[in-house]
Chain A
Amino acid sequence: MDSHRADISAEQGALASRDIPVDVKSEQLTLQDPRAVLSLLEADQVVAAKRRTHFGRKNLSLGTKALLWGLRVYVVAMLVIVLISVYQAIHAAR
């Protein structure tokens, strides 16, 4: 996986300078040819590609689930405490 991504990265590095079909040195850009548009973007940057592809669901380990639940309980408890503190502040002001 990692080595494959390294290859991809190397391709990306070459894209702008060497293999791009659009002339980056010209002063005018014509994007009427869709291939010119595509050549400037990474494939998964294209809207149609993004719409049809998604990262798959991650299988959460027990530890990760416990962490997420713990933080969820933390947020709910803290929101209750915020309400208490606001009540106290309003009560004290009166």
Chain B
Amino acid sequence: MDAPDKNPSLLAGQTAHPTTESAVASAAAPELIGLVTHEDVDRARDRWEVARARSKGRSKKFGSFRLLWLLVGPGVLVFLGENDAPSMLSYSADGSRYGVGFFIPFVVLTFIMGFIVQEMTVRLGAVTHRGHAELIFDRFGKFWGFFAMGDLIFGNFLTLVTEFIGVRAGLGFFGVRPAIAVGGALVIVVAAITSGRYWTWERITLSLAIFNGLFIPAAILARPDWHAVGHAMVTWTPFPGGNRYEILLLILATIGATVTPWMLFFQQSAVVDKGMQPRDINAGRFDTLLGALLASVFAIAAILATVPLFHHGINAADFQAAQFAEALEPLIGHTGAALFALGIFEAGIVAAIAISTSSAYAFGEVMQTGHSLNRPLREAWPFYLTLFGSACAAAALVLIPHFPLEFVVLTVNVIAVLAMPPALAFLLLLVNDPEVMGEHVNGFWANVAGVTVTVLLIIAGLGFGLATVFPKWLGG
């Protein structure tokens, strides 16, 4: 490895991660002081709150809760954002086609995989203060950077389309016309970003995201057999029977419902925008773990809510969101079906906010334009234009008559899984790079876990590929 620039600070004599304390004292500090931006001031305000909470945390009983409240955000958002419309539909397909069994513990496993990789993005963001796209371009150059960006933008756009399909279908259950549903969703996306403040955006989106929990009452109304759930968690059985190709496709879609490239880019950029620092890494881990736990519970609830379809032998093979809710209505009641439809709407809207923000962060990082929700519109209009433009384009596609929506829904989670190994390779290379990570470089077990997740995803992808090209191998 050649000697990189070691992030040569603009402050002479400083190294990769100097503190501002020393920067202020340096000769170059006056220059920096003149360049303090609106973004810096907002971030400093957030850091002051954190510093206060940390200071009070030592003396007051609930001080540490205040600290966690301030630092929780990107991890919960990324996991509840990934419990998006196509993901909830994948979980619903698991429940309606195979009942309580293998898929319940399997979903938990996928969230463990998700936690392993997302934790690395917390460390990368907190240590480098750089987004994922920016680091890939810096360390691997434009050639590999554009490949990574291509995967991200393509996957993000397809996923965004499915989010608006979810919005349209979820509200369609209540008789809302598609144009009004999609237009209303765009208004919410805009409302979330108008504050010009990361903190406000994060809290608005978190407050929307918590409604992912609507799947819990829907599941309770479906009267799940808790003994069977406990048995499945322990034994991973009954294993799904029938068409093996379809099972493999659902396994892949279920993995893609939890581990996707946009999550890596989003969480790292959100950690940077939140202003997290290396001493916040443990709080970031807690945030990520909390997000994974909440999302896995809500995902299992979606499976359980649709199990009655399995028991009544209703074929849900080609169901879309509204059809799931309509089919559930006679089985779990209007309230349960309405909660399910609202849950799909919520899943779509939160993911639309998170994914369009992920695209905008990556675009801003690569184009080296302002890329922070702490920036006012006039300072970072390309960032906000990308965010809003990608959401508008996806929303418009959903409203085009005869647009092959099913095609997009069918493939989006599978494409996410297939695009994940290269994204994980970049992540693992970055997080093992001592010039980037310093003392926070990956440990042995983190690497074992990261490589295992990558290999599992490759095996799942290859299995899907072989089963598609040679269907007779699986008896499909």
Contact = CB atoms under 8 A, between A and B. Distances in A.
Interface stretch (B33-41, B113-121, B166-174, B353-361): B33-41
B407 A86 contact: yes
Secondary structure of the A side of the interface? helix
Interface in A70-94: 71-72, 74-75, 77-79, 81-82, 84-86, 88-90, 93
Interface stretch (B224-232, B326-334, B458-466): B458-466
Given A31-B44, A54-B138, A78 B418 contact: yes
Contact of A46 (B16, B20, B21, B151): B20
A82 B414 contact: yes
B48 A44 contact: no
A31 B47 CA distance: 12
A5 B415 contact: no
Contact of A39 (B20, B35, B414): B20
Given A47-B35, A75-B421, 10 more contacts: A16-B279, A31-B45, A39-B20, A39-B24, A40-B43, A45-B277, A48-B10, A57-B141, A75-B422, A78-B418
A15 B415 CA distance: 45
A43 B22 contact: yes
Interface residues of B, number: 84
A9 B422 contact: no
A36 B124 CA distance: 26
Interface in A1-48: 1-2, 4-6, 8-9, 11-13, 15-17, 19-20, 22, 24-25, 29, 31, 34-48
Secondary structure of the B side of the interface? helix
A45 B52 contact: no
A40 B21 CA distance: 8
Contacts of A84: 468-469
Contact of A42 (B3, B129, B130, B407): B129
Query: Of residues B11, B39, B318, B436, which shows the largest number of chain A Cβ atoms within 10 Å of its Cβ?
Result: B11
A56 B422 CA distance: 21
B411 A86 contact: yes
Closest 6 CB pairs of A and B: A56-B4, A56-B5, A48-B35, A5-B438, A43-B23, A40-B44
